Structure 1
């Protein structure tokens, strides 16, 4: 049968005290450390999840900004093209106006040169007529006949009689 003696009782008491001491000084702190560690791991997992969510939001924001910046760059390029086209049209129009003015000035200069040449020709013709008239007068003393020849010549040349007699 089972015998209970003092050694066994002391051993049981020692075991109970040892279990209580181990629970108090070893198992309790180790459990607390393990709970702290588990809480830290859960906190880090929650932080990682939040960081992942924030990174996803940030990525979506950057993608949206990239899309808007693409649209903005396209708008800027189109505005630049329109501005360049307007500047090109303005420069071409200005060049056309300058060319037309130069052409008009050249036409006026040519007309003036033509008028000058015609005036010189009329002057030379008048001189020749005077010389011919003087020659005719020297050959014939009839003044009326010479004056009539002179007037006929000027009428054919297109010069009025009053402007050349003076």
Structure 2
């Protein structure tokens, strides 16, 4: 191959012109697109970092709210436990008071009935004694007959009960 100086110079000038044209029309817009892409990626990274920080803040806020709800639920359960215990004690106390009242009424009723029975028995015994005395006086009988008569009336009193 043959080398000529003029073609070498023309090649260098052509290469220089080509480089100027390429840098102006190809590399310039390409570098602009690359710069836009770089800015877009940086913006997306910053946006992602902000979103992550917001998500972390929301997560911490939700954890705090959940912990607060748990503590409130525990307080409500404890309050319900205390209230139910007090109610149970009140119910037991009222039941004991009612049982004591019923027992006292029953004892009073028993005492009243006992007194009525004793009074009725005394009345019957008095009536029988008067009747026996009148019969003895009427008959004017001997001691053996009197004992038989008393036993007879005592059997009657015993049979009427």
Counterpart residue number, 1:124: 124
RMSD, matched Cα: 2.0
Distance in 1 between the 2:92 and 2:50 partners? Answer: 61
Would you identify which runs of 4 or more consecutive aligned residues in structure 1 move more than 6 Å?
none
Counterpart residue number, 1:43: 43
Once the 2 structures are TM-superposed, how far is the Cα of residue 107 of structure 1 from its aligned partner? 0.8
* CA offsets 1:69-116 (integer angstroms, 9 cap, x no match): 232122111101111011101111111121112111211221122122
Aligned residue runs from structure 1 range 9-158, under 5 A: 10-139=10-139
Once the 2 structures are TM-superposed, how far is the Cα of residue 28 of structure 1 from its aligned partner? 1.6
Once the 2 structures are TM-superposed, how far is the Cα of residue 8 of structure 1 from its aligned partner? 4.9
Once the 2 structures are TM-superposed, how far is the Cα of residue 133 of structure 1 from its aligned partner? 2.0
Distance in 2 between the 1:63 and 1:112 partners? Answer: 73
Per the normalisation by structure 2, the TM-score is 0.74
Counterpart residue number, 2:151: none
* CA offsets 1:33-67 (integer angstroms, 9 cap, x no match): 21111111111211121122112212221222232
Q: How many residues align?
A: 137
Distance in 2 between the 1:10 and 1:58 partners? Answer: 68
Per the normalisation by structure 1, the TM-score is 0.72
Once the 2 structures are TM-superposed, how far is the Cα of residue 21 of structure 1 from its aligned partner? 2.1
Question: Which one scores higher on RCO, CA 8 angstroms, separation ≥ 6?
Answer: 2
Counterpart residue number, 1:152: none
